[in-house]
């Protein structure tokens, strides 16, 4: 069973509860929208042009000077001196133009220097690895590229994101959730086209055998040329930019031709490269002990939904539209994984399939969101190298609508006769022969394709029995003629037969989490201004731990208060840790700021305590009885920190501030 | 890195909140304890003995009769008649003894007839598959044995069980959760012994090639003999029972010898069987494009915790005890999967590793649980064919304690000198050479084994440089002498070096869920007594949906009230569905009873509604404003249904009862 699937650059937004929607918009805008780079600096082309002109002026003058010097009989010294001076001035001009171009190139992207952006990323990644948000897998065995472990805080963030995803999509939209295996028999992935086409183009270093993704090499070559080669002509620069833009649309032949044209070699050794060949990205394996049933680890979770379509449609009362969702692991044997969590070999996918009637795509809740504005990135803008732009949802739908039917479907003006395969297993005979396994034999018989069934019919008629492999039993059974009736029946069809259209939003959870990490990270100076402190400004919804409890000094009475508070936090369902290490309160704040804990309770008396907010470092004083309910209010999002600041006295004792 | 691991038949119980503990105890006692069968009927042996005696009396009398008839000259007719009568009487006796034995055998187990237990299981499984709790995977492609999909209600139950597991263990006990990949390089599973020893013994049908698990064949043979062969001598019966009991402890040679001794053939074809050979249960694959890095899908999740031990120990402030947990998929390529969710090829495991100091296994919370009584099944009782028995936890720990140290460890009476490998990569040189990849090269150098490091030292000293494969980069780099210093340093060690002991509770989530399904299922007659209705009596904590809303009849005003109630249920965080199909209220109740929804709200007025409890079918009348908070009270476990029954008027209108 195959469906045409539309991959949207955006995701479907449901109206849901206003608060939740707000959360989601904040979450998405922070993790996705803000990451889309604005267009390249408009002046780059003119600067290249200016540099090229200055450079040819230099060349022309140098040529003139050489001619002057070589003049038979010799030129006047004054004339030569003047030409040298002119050449010097032109070189200064060209140097200045080169510096202006260099500056423009290194300011590319979002306006911050690319090198400082790289340094920022390195700081984020170092913090993430040091605090065990995630770490390369199997490090003690030297590791494997593209596989990562989530440590305790990373695990907590992931589990919060998934819980919120399930709440927002599955529960609030009444989606049908399924959970299917990762191990998938070949037949399923042959039908979906993955066995034949889920490939990337690969080249090998002809001497060392190291493998590279062909499009990565071409892209890296173009980017490096554009960034570092100031002598590129504006035309050549435009060509390289165009190559980057259309990279995903190049055919294998075009890609191979470009690699040859640009003389690209293996980046590490400069050895020549092999020809291109396709490499299937699925991890292959074998199911069962016989070695005869090939299988793969699923490269996406959607197939599990598609193969269950009939059952899910029935579960939904045979009505459209409905949506099914699945959260689970997917596997892609990437040629060269890179960029941390952004391109890995195993990852958690959360996928939705909205099944809709191709002739009636209306949704009862669309009116609630039609006027909302979102940042969108339509295909035409992507291909034209333009940037994302805000669009009103209702207008976008009226526009993105093509007028061309997306799928084949049939309507019969009057009932018409069709031939249909009818397989009727005899449950009585099969029950006698196979007892407890009867059900699986029945299901296997019913699942035969038309070709298989007709073959069986012929064999049973000529020989009376036939060997038949039942996969669910893992063995071959003997089917007798009396056990099954197979026929082609004529039948009148009134109903319209149609293939549902599918809208498929797909969420790579690791990518979302990584964007969240990078977007939430900042540094600030310690109070003594002697070091940079790291902070993750996670919203409470996704923070790995909501709250810490610090007894100010080591004394039994403060420890007792801390335990009472911990108990009330547990009762309120707020995750927390008590830190009773003797270290200074400033150090303890810094330590939990670095894993993004939004609130800290410091116990400095036996009647009331302070609550400190991570980003503003503001503190309020709250009685011990109230502390859990105040923290719950701000972590659940019922109140903002600003709201509770008004209700309680602020606290500014020096001893609880950063040291 | 390897740790000795103890697999406990029981799991560690933490004190936690009393309510949660109660939940857990109820949950475990329903899903595990109640499933352990009591000992076989004590009379079986004496019945076999009696039958054997009667049978030999029959044989002796038949022999005597034949002798009488063959007497030279012929015996008197009267004498022969008397002997025939005596033989008849003895045969009647033997027949009665055979029937008594047959009855005892079919009453084996928990006292209910085995066949009716099988029928019960079939009813549970049929309901589970029909309502899409779970279904065989890839059914439309004929399926694969041992792979199942969870449909919408199954998914919801699984997600509730996992959320509760995480809350109970990870959050309340401050465990360190990790989330590691399923794809695992061979080196890790070689070190853990899985590549060599994670095998089952297999035999093949010599003609068809069908594979069987050798121990399954032996067990099935013994069970069938014991159940059906009434002529077995008591000695032979005892022998077969002993074989079943020690099945897991038989060596390959013993298992093979038994198959030969009993003349066991392929069960489907009666063909002869091949010799035994080991089959590795791990799904094998290959990591990366080179085809040179074998890998496996992990057969358990524990390895991911072990390889991260050092980092987690550091995360915990270098202190023991601590516990780490992981929830994730595990994969076992079973030879012959069977029994639905109980033996599958891919499953969700939730595993905990408690790391404890072997010399100090005290736990601060043990005192809170030392006096609780649990059903336990110690190894000696299992091997002796006895049944589980209740034990006081404190006493069990004083007993299960062996007095033998579980792990090797060393104590130094005085500091002693040891040789230690020291690898110091030069970050400066490596940074210059490898820039952004420096970190991965440094980590790979530091992760070298002693042998690898000493080889590198020798090569660098003789040749000045050496090729070095960096797995995390997926390529080979050239290491120069100046980039790393390798030496064997002498060092004084004061510290005790020890291997932590490990306690490893492991939860197969699919098995727990299946037990929950089977234990929660019952049938009851419809009101008209014309059909059996299925009910899953799930506790609200795990029920797939907490509540349904039914407008009694199709009218706008009831639909509006239903929507208002749905809104307040969403706000209270209670999962629910509205059923507005026109079908009778009794049918709608039956439909949701069958998926285990604990509460149903029927809208039959615009001011108040009824709430019906699934198992008692009792109804109370509650005002529309209060309905969400009442349902929340009983689903959260703050009140029981009994509690709220007292507070609200009961409702007994005929129209809302089963029809």
**The pLDDT value given to residue A246:** 87
Q: Is the ipTM of this complex over 0.85?
A: no
In this prediction, residue B278 has a pLDDT band, given cuts at 50, 70 and 90, of: very high
| Inter-chain touch A284–B286, beta carbons under 8 Å | yes
In this prediction, residue B114 has a pLDDT band, given cuts at 50, 70 and 90, of: low
A509: contact with B, CB 8 A cutoff: no
Q: pLDDT tens for residues A605-643?
A: 999 999 999 999 999 999 999 999 999 999 988 899 999
Contact residues on chain A for B191, CB-CB shorter than 8 A? 141
Distance CA A156, CA A162 (A): 10
Mean per-residue pLDDT, B67-73:
85
| Inter-chain touch B183–A283, beta carbons under 8 Å | yes
Mean per-residue pLDDT, A191-215:
91
Distance CA B416, CA B400 (A): 37
Give the closest-approach CA distance of A56 to chain B in angstroms. Answer: 35
Q: Residues A349, A350, A353, A354: is their CA dihedral positive or negative?
A: negative
Mean per-residue pLDDT, B216-226:
92
Among B133, B152, B228, the residue to mutate for chain A (most A Cβ within 10 A): B152
| Inter-chain touch A570–B172, beta carbons under 8 Å | yes
**The pLDDT value given to residue A624:** 95
Mean per-residue pLDDT, A286-314:
91
Q: Would the pLDDT of B178 be above 90?
A: yes
B93: helix, strand or coil: helix
Q: Would the pLDDT of A492 be above 80?
A: no
**The pLDDT value given to residue B631:** 96
Q: Would the pLDDT of B383 be above 60?
A: yes
Could you tell me how many residues make up chain A? Answer: 659
**Residue of A42 and B588 predicted with greater confidence:** B588
Beta-bridge partners for B622: B609
Phi-psi region of B617 (alpha: psi -120 to 50; beta: other; left: phi over 0): left
Q: Would you say B240 and B227 are in contact if contact means Cβ atoms under 8 Å apart?
A: no
Q: pLDDT tens for residues B446-468?
A: 888 888 888 999 999 999 999 99
Q: Would the pLDDT of A654 be above 80?
A: no
Q: Would you say A173 and A14 are in contact if contact means Cβ atoms under 8 Å apart?
A: yes
**Residue of B336 and A407 predicted with greater confidence:** B336
Residue in B closest to A437 by C-alpha:
B338
**The pLDDT value given to residue B290:** 85
| Inter-chain touch A177–B171, beta carbons under 8 Å | no
**Across the A/B interface, how many CB contacts are shorter than 8 Å?**
271
Q: What angle, 0 to 180 degrees and rounded to 10, lies between the N-to-C axes of helices A114-130 and A509-520?
A: 110
A473: contact with B, CB 8 A cutoff: yes
Distance CA B551, CA A633 (A): 35
**The pLDDT value given to residue A107:** 63
Q: Of B353-367, B560-574, B580-594, where does mean pLDDT reach its minimum?
A: B353-367
% of chain B surpassing 70 pLDDT: 87
Distance CA B620, CA B644 (A): 9
Q: Would you say A205 and A273 are in contact if contact means Cβ atoms under 8 Å apart?
A: yes
Q: Would the pLDDT of A4 be above 80?
A: no
Q: Would the pLDDT of A140 be above 70?
A: yes
Supply φ then ψ for residue B154, to 5 degrees. Answer: -65, -45
Contact residues on chain B for A368, CB-CB shorter than 8 A? none
Q: Best-predicted range by mean pLDDT among A34-43, A177-186, A425-434, B384-393?
A: A177-186
Give the closest-approach CA distance of A608 to chain B in angstroms. Answer: 25
B201: contact with A, CB 8 A cutoff: no
B277: contact with A, CB 8 A cutoff: no
Q: What is the residue-averaged pLDDT of chain B?
A: 83
Q: Which two tokens stand for residue B473?
A: 């980069």
**The pLDDT value given to residue B254:** 92
| Inter-chain touch A156–B177, beta carbons under 8 Å | yes
Q: Which two tokens stand for residue B515?
A: 């037990």
**Residue of B13 and A297 predicted with greater confidence:** A297
| Inter-chain touch B337–A148, beta carbons under 8 Å | no
**The pLDDT value given to residue A194:** 92
Partner residue opposite A149 with nearest CB, options B140, B180, B448: B180
A277: helix, strand or coil: strand
Q: pLDDT tens for residues A449-465?
A: 888 888 999 999 999 99
**How remote is the C-alpha of B521 from its chain's centroid?**
19
Q: What value does the CA radius of gyration of chain A take, rounded to a whole number of Å?
A: 33
**The pLDDT value given to residue B35:** 33
Q: pLDDT tens for residues A553-571?
A: 888 999 999 999 999 998 8
**The pLDDT value given to residue A98:** 87
Distance CA A150, CA A281 (A): 23
**The pLDDT value given to residue B398:** 74
Burial of A111 (0-12, 13-18, 19+ CB in 10 A): exposed
According to DSSP, residue A344 is labeled -
Q: What is the residue-averaged pLDDT of chain A?
A: 83
Q: Would the pLDDT of A47 be above 70?
A: yes
Buried b (16+ CB within 10 A) or exposed e, B335-369: bbbbebbebbbbbbbbbbbbbbebeebeeeebeeb
Q: pLDDT tens for residues B573-626?
A: 899 998 877 788 899 999 999 999 999 999 999 999 999 999 999 999 999 999
Contact residues on chain B for A308, CB-CB shorter than 8 A? 135, 149, 151
Q: Of A30-44, A587-601, B108-122, B335-349, where does mean pLDDT reach its minimum?
A: A30-44
Among B17, B123, B138, the residue to mutate for chain A (most A Cβ within 10 A): B138
A548: contact with B, CB 8 A cutoff: no
Q: Which two tokens stand for residue B293?
A: 């890095």
**Residue of A623 and B70 predicted with greater confidence:** A623
Among A119, A131, A141, A569, the residue to mutate for chain B (most B Cβ within 10 A): A141
**The pLDDT value given to residue B108:** 57
In this prediction, residue B38 has a pLDDT band, given cuts at 50, 70 and 90, of: very low
Q: Which two tokens stand for residue A380?
A: 């035409």
In A106-135, the residues whose Cβ lies within 8 Å of chain B are 118, 132, 135
| Inter-chain touch A476–B208, beta carbons under 8 Å | yes
**The pLDDT value given to residue B606:** 94
Q: pLDDT tens for residues B89-110?
A: 999 999 988 888 888 877 654 4
Mean per-residue pLDDT, B510-536:
92
Mean per-residue pLDDT, B466-483:
86
In this prediction, residue B273 has a pLDDT band, given cuts at 50, 70 and 90, of: very high
Q: Residues B223, B229, B230, B236: is their CA dihedral positive or negative?
A: negative
Give the 3-state secondary structure of B490-513.
Answer: EEEECCCEECCEEECCEEEHHHHH
In this prediction, residue A279 has a pLDDT band, given cuts at 50, 70 and 90, of: very high
**The pLDDT value given to residue A497:** 61
A638: contact with B, CB 8 A cutoff: no
In A553-582, the residues whose Cβ lies within 8 Å of chain B are 570-571, 575, 577, 581
Q: Residues A450, A451, A453, A458: is their CA dihedral positive or negative?
A: positive
Q: Would the pLDDT of A659 be above 70?
A: no
Contact residues on chain B for A331, CB-CB shorter than 8 A? 182-183
In B304-323, the residues whose Cβ lies within 8 Å of chain A are 304, 307-308, 310-312, 315, 317
Q: Which two tokens stand for residue A375?
A: 């940042």
**The pLDDT value given to residue A608:** 94
């Amino acid at each position: 069973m195959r469906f045409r699937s539309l991959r949207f650059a955006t995701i479907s937004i449901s109206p849901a509860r206003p608060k939740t929607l707000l959360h989601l918009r904040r979450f998405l805008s922070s993790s996705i929208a803000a990451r889309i780079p604005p267009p390249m600096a408009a002046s780059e082309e003119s600067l290249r042009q200016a540099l090229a002109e200055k450079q040819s002026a230099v060349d022309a003058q140098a040529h003139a000077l050489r001619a002057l010097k070589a003049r038979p009989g010799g030129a006047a010294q004054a004339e030569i001196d003047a030409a040298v001076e002119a050449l010097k001035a032109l070189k200064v001009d060209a140097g200045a133009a080169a510096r202006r171009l260099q500056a423009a190139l290194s300011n590319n992207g979002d306006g911050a220097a690319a090198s400082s952006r790289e340094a920022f990323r390195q700081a984020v990644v170092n913090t993430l690895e040091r605090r065990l948000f995630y770490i390369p897998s199997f490090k003690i065995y030297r590791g494997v590229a593209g596989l990562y472990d989530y440590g305790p805080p990373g695990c907590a963030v992931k589990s919060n994101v998934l819980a919120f995803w399930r709440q927002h999509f599955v529960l609030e939209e009444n989606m049908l959730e399924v959970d299917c295996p990762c191990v998938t028999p070949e037949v399923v992935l042959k039908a979906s086209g993955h066995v034949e086409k889920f490939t990337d183009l690969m080249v090998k270093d002809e001497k060392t055998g190291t493998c590279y993704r062909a499009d990565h090499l071409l892209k890296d070559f173009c980017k490096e040329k554009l960034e570092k080669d100031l002598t590129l002509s504006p035309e050549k620069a435009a060509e390289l930019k165009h190559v980057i833009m259309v990279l995903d649309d190049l055919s294998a032949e075009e890609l191979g031709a470009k690699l040859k044209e640009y003389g690209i070699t293996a980046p590490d050794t400069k050895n020549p490269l092999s020809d291109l060949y396709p490499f299937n990205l699925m991890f292959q394996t074998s199911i069962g002990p016989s070695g005869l049933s090939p299988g793969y680890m699923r490269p996406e979770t959607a197939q599990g939904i598609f193969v269950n379509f009939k059952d899910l449609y029935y579960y939904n009362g045979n009505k459209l539209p409905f949506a099914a969702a699945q959260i689970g692991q997917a596997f892609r044997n990437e040629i060269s994984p890179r960029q941390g969590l952004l391109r890995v070999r195993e990852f958690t996918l959360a996928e939705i399939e909205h099944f809709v009637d191709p002739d009636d795509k209306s949704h009862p809740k669309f009116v609630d969101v039609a006027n909302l504005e979102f940042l969108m990135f339509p295909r035409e803008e992507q291909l034209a190298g333009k940037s994302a732009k805000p669009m009103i949802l209702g207008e976008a739908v009226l526009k993105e609508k093509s007028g061309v039917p997306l799928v084949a479907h049939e309507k019969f003006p009057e009932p018409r006769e069709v031939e249909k395969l009818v397989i009727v297993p005899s449950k009585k005979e099969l029950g006698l022969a196979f007892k407890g396994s009867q059900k699986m034999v029945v299901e296997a018989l019913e699942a035969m394709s038309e070709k298989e069934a007709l073959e069986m019919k012929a064999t049973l008629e000529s020989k009376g029995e036939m060997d038949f492999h039942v996969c669910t039993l893992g063995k071959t059974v003997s089917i007798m003629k009396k056990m099954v009736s197979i026929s082609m029946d004529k039948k009148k069809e009134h109903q319209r037969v149609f293939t549902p259209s599918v809208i498929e939003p797909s969420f790579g959870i690791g990518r979302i989490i990584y964007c969240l990490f990078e977007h939430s990270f900042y540094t600030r100076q310690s109070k003594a201004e002697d070091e940079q402190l790291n902070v993750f400004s996670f919203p409470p919804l996704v923070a790995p731990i909501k709250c810490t409890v610090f007894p100010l000094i080591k004394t039994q009475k403060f420890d007792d208060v801390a335990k009472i508070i911990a108990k009330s936090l547990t009762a309120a369902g707020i995750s927390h840790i008590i830190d009773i290490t003797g270290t200074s309160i400033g150090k303890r704040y810094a330590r939990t700021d670095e894993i993004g804990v939004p609130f800290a309770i410091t116990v400095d008396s036996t009647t009331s305590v302070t609550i400190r907010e991570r980003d503003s470092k503001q503190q309020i004083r709250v009685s011990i009885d109230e502390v859990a309910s105040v923290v719950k209010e701000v972590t659940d999002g019922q109140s903002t920190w600003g709201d509770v600041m008004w209700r309680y006295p602020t606290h500014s004792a020096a001893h609880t501030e950063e040291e």
